Amino acid sequence: MTARKLRIWYLVHKWTSLVSTVFLLLLCLTGLPLIFHEEIEHYFEPHPELRALTADSPQIDYDKVVAGVLATWPDEVVRFVGFDPDSPLGVVFTATSLTPPPIEGHSQPFDTRTGELFPPAQPDDGFMNLMLRLHTDLFMGLPGYLFLGFMGLLLVASLVSGVVVYTPFMRKLDFATVRTGRSARLKWLDLHNVLGMVTLTWVLVVGVTGVINTLALPIFGLWQSDQLADMTAPYKDAPPLERLGSLHKALEAARQAAPDMEPSFVAFPGTQFSSQNHYAVFMRGTTPLTARLLKPALVDAVTGELTDIREMPLYVKTLLISQPLHFGDYGGLPLKIIWTLLDVISIVVLGSGLYLWIRRRNRPMPKHLVELNANRSSVEGRA
């Protein structure tokens, strides 16, 4: 590699890192509590206590559940019904409008075995919601998603260019060498390089999956205009619904169509994940991997008959798999601990990179980036 090309790679690494560092530090810091969001939410907002089943326990009727929720909130409409994959607990989500974003609404938990209703959940406006919004869109909606996605692309460019710049430098030192006997700046340079190489694969995976996650809104928008539109095409000229049919019957139809799967959530007619004439029952698998993948089953909201069920397209499956991989929440507590340690190391890498730039901003480019041996591409580092 010529000195000119190496200089270009150095400048790419320098400026992609500098532009994105502050936002990447924000993402790492807000990501720490999000790794343990389930444990934190369960501690501060414990799930309702489910009663043990007896011979006299009633069987659930989802229509009665919905009717009970609407009786409590008569000025609202049901948008979604969700199911907890780890417990027999469901949630009915209501709002003042079917179309997003809802101005007001409630989350009503219920027992999926008996239909017992529990007190409504508190509005999600606390610490964890603050961390989530900062981590995902900076409270800016789609522009915030896309901006952070661009920061993720800069991170990937920084990682690739960092490997190119650091590889020749490694020829002068044994791997993982940290020269502690000289200047503090040199020690941090070695530490920055070593920790960066150790966490390279993890940061690359988290960065790429993070970029994919920022495209969630466009991806689901594409699915709605593509597959969902095709699935609901026969109902294009159907008259508006005057009343909703049985949700219980719709769930039974979806379960019969996918007997090896369980419902993940139901989108009511008129919401963004359904049509004006269907219950959209999103089924999930029962293994750790397939539990993240969804299969939409459309059920006629009047007759309760299944009209279509299809696999999600590849671009949606990619998104669904990348979401748990990004936060490490598919392998239990041990994987979350590993994710946390790697996150902390990444914070050290980012912080040390910022420190090195501040200390070196008025110095010329390192000699090892411009001196090349005439016989082979090698560089010599200097203190």
The DSSP bridge partners found for residue 95 are 77, 105
Residue with tokens 């009727």: 61
pLDDT digits (tens, 9 = 90+) for 352-361: 888 888 877 5
How far apart are the C-alpha atoms of 364 and 370, rounded to whole Å?
11
**What pLDDT does residue 173 have?**
65
Angle at CA 34, nearest 5°, toward 29 and 38?
A: 155
- Asked, for residue 282, whether it belongs to a domain, the answer is no
Nearest partner of 216 among 115, 349, 346, 323, judged by Cα: 323
CB atoms within 10 A of CB 133: 16
Q: What is the dihedral of CA 38, 42, 44, 47, to 10 degrees?
A: 140
- Asked, for residue 22, whether it belongs to a domain, the answer is yes
**What pLDDT does residue 324 have?**
85
**What pLDDT does residue 290 have?**
85
How far apart are the C-alpha atoms of 92 and 107, rounded to whole Å?
6
How far apart are the C-alpha atoms of 19 and 16, rounded to whole Å?
5
Q: Which of 19-23, 342-346, 371-375 bottoms out in mean pLDDT, i.e. has the lowest?
A: 371-375
**What pLDDT does residue 93 have?**
95
What's the rounded mean pLDDT across residues 305-319?
Answer: 96
CB-based contact 112:90 (threshold 8 Å):
yes
pLDDT digits (tens, 9 = 90+) for 320-356: 999 888 988 777 788 899 999 999 999 999 998 888 8
Number of domains in the chain: 1
Domain residues for the domain of 208 are 3-39+137-213+331-369
User: What percent of the chain is predicted at pLDDT more than 90?
Assistant: 59
- Asked, for residue 347, whether it belongs to a domain, the answer is yes
> How far is the CA of 293 from the CAs of 33, 115, 214, in angstroms?
25, 26, 18
The residue ranking higher by pLDDT, 165 or 112, is 112
When the pLDDT of each residue in the chain is averaged and rounded to a whole number, the result is 87
Helix 314-327 / helix 216-223 crossing angle, nearest 10 deg? 150
Tokens of 238: 């159907």
**What pLDDT does residue 275 have?**
93
Tokens of 193: 């390089």
373 has pLDDT over 60? no
Nearest partner of 239 among 266, 268, 269, judged by Cα: 269
- Asked, for residue 198, whether it belongs to a domain, the answer is yes
**What pLDDT does residue 370 have?**
46
- Asked, for residue 358, whether it belongs to a domain, the answer is yes
- Asked, for residue 239, whether it belongs to a domain, the answer is no
pTM as predicted = 0.85
The residue ranking higher by pLDDT, 224 or 358, is 224
CB-based contact 140:147 (threshold 8 Å):
yes
Question: H or E stretch including 105?
Answer: strand 105-111
Nearest partner of 199 among 211, 207, 210, judged by Cα: 207
- Asked, for residue 227, whether it belongs to a domain, the answer is no
**What pLDDT does residue 381 have?**
41
**What pLDDT does residue 35 have?**
92
**What pLDDT does residue 254 have?**
98
- Asked, for residue 48, whether it belongs to a domain, the answer is no
Where does the pLDDT of residue 170 fall: very low under 50, low under 70, confident under 90, or very high at 90 and above? low
The residue ranking higher by pLDDT, 206 or 369, is 206
